[in-house]
Amino acid sequence: MAEDLEQRCGGLLSARQAVLESEGVQASEELELLRKATEEEYEQSIAAVKKTENDLENISNIIQKVNRLKETETVFRRLQKQLAQAAAEKRALEQKRQEAVKAAAGLARLEEEKRRREDERELLRRQTYAREPRLAQLDRRLQGTMAELVAASLRKGENAGDAVRAIRDKNLELQQERAVLLGALGLPEDALDDKPACPKCSDTGWVGANMCACLKALCTEEQIRELSKLLDLGEQSFDSFSLDYYSPLPWPGESLSPRENMEFIFDVCSSYARKFGRFYFRNLFLTGAPGLGKTFLSACIARTVSESGFSVVYDTAVNIFTRFEEQKFARDRLEAGEAKDETRRYLGCDLLILDDLGSELSTPFVQSALYTLINTRLTADKRTVISSNLTMDQVRARYTPQIASRLEGEYRVLPFYGEDIRLLRKQTL
C-alpha cells in the first residue's frame, strides 16, 4: 500500500515539474513552498499508511494469539473436568475400600460368633445326650426318617403316598417324644437344633446386596473397639455429661457464664453428632485450656457417630503428622505402606477427630501436611472435629494464613472457658 502511494505521488510531482519546464516557467518561491508542503504531506501520508499496515499486522497477530489461547483454555477446562472426575472416582473407590475393610472385620466377628454358638450348641448336645441317652437315639432316627421320606416320595407305584404318610407319622411321633424328654430336662424343644442367630440373613451378614443389621452392629462394635485404643470411651456419652462442675457466675471478659457457655456447646456437639452429615455446621473447632471437657465431648461425638454406622477415626496431632512423615520419609517399604494406609484413613473417613492441635512440632512439613489434611477433607465434603489448647489468636500466629483462614471460615469455633473440671472433680472425691 505504501509503495503504491509513493509511486503515484512521485509520478505526479515529476509530471508537474516537467510541464512547467516545457512551458518555460521558472519555479517561483511560492511554487517551491507548495512543492515542499506537498512533499511533507506526502511523507506524512506514507508514514500513516505504514503505521496502519503495522497496526493491522499487530492486530492479526493478536487475533491469532487469542485463538490459540482459546484453544488452550478449552484443553485446560477439559483436563480440569477429567481431573475432577478422576478425583471423584478415587474418593468413591476409597469409600468402597473402607466399607469393604469394615465389612471384612464385621464378617470375621460374625464367623467368630457363629463358631462360638456352634461350639456351645455341640457342648450342650453332648451334655444333654449324657443326661438322657434316649435323645441321641431319637436324633439319629429322625435323621434316618428324612432319608426314608425322600426315597418314598420318589417311588413309583400305588403305595407311594401311603409310604410317605407312614414315614411322616413316625417322624411326628419321634419329634413329640423328643420334645417331652427335652422339656423334662428344662430345655425348649429346639434347644439342640441348628438355627441361625439372625433369621433375616441366616448369619451371612447380607440380605441380597444390602448389609444386614446384624453385620452393621458388629462393624460398629469393631470400630468402637478401635476408637477405645486411643480414646477412652468408657461411659462417656451425651447422657452422662454433667454441667454441675461449670460455674453459673459471670466469667471475666465473657458475656456468658461458664455453665451457660457449656450448655450452648453441649447442644451444638450433641446435635452435630445425632444429625451427622445433615447438621448446618460441617466441622467443629474446640478451643480452650486443658480440663474443660473438650476430649470428653469429642468422645461423645465419636461414640454417637459410630453407632450411626459412619466411619470414625480419632488420633492426636502428634500421631497423625508422624504418620504423614513416615509415609514420605520412611526407608522401610513396609513401614511406609502402613503409614500410607493410616494417612488414607485420616483423609477418607466420614469423621476425623484430631485431638490436641498445637502439641506437634511446627515445621514446614507439618504445616504442609496440616493444610493438605484440612483442604482435602473440605474438598471431599468430609467432616472434621479439631480440639486444641490454642486460642484463635495463637492459631493465627502459629500456622500459615491459609490454614488459619480455613479454620475460621469452614469450622464452627467453640471456645471453652472456666475452671479446670478435672481439678474440681479431684477436690470433691
Provide the CATH number for the domain around residue 416: 3.40.50.300
Higher-scoring residue by pLDDT: 230, 408 = 408
158 and 48 in a common domain: no
Question: 74-109 burial, b for 16+ CB within 10 Å, e for fewer?
Answer: eeeeeeeeeeeeeeeeebeebbeebeeebbebbbeb
Tell me if 221 is assigned to some domain. Answer: no
Asked if the structure places residue 217 within a domain, the reply is no
Looking at the structure, do residues 405 and 308 belong to the same domain, yes or no? yes
Q: What is the pLDDT of residues 178-187, one digit of tens each?
A: 888 878 888 8
* 136 in the same domain as 267: no
CA angle 184/187/192 to nearest 5° reads 120
Give the residue-averaged pLDDT of 342-369.
89
* Final residue in a domain of this structure, among 184, 203, 222: 184
| Mean pLDDT within 265-288 | 92
How far apart are the C-alpha atoms of 271 and 278, rounded to whole Å? 10
DSSP code, position 42:
H
Domain end (from 57, 72, 87): 72
Q: Is residue 399 part of a domain?
A: yes
Is 193 a member of any domain? no
> Is residue 28 located within the same domain as residue 174?
no
Residue at 423 is within a domain: yes
Model confidence, pTM? 0.56
Determine the pLDDT at residue 25.
47
Could you give the angle at the alpha carbon of 296 between the alpha carbons of 264 and 372, nearest 5°? 90
- List the domain range (segments joined by +) for residue 63: 2-72
Report pLDDT for 241.
Answer: 86
In the prediction, which pLDDT does 334 show?
Answer: 60
pLDDT tens, position by position, 96-136? 565 666 666 666 766 777 788 778 888 888 888 888 888 88
Domain match, 411 and 265 both: yes
Q: Domain total for the chain? A: 3
Residue with C-alpha cell 510541464? 19
83 within some domain: no
Do residues 65 and 147 share a domain?
no
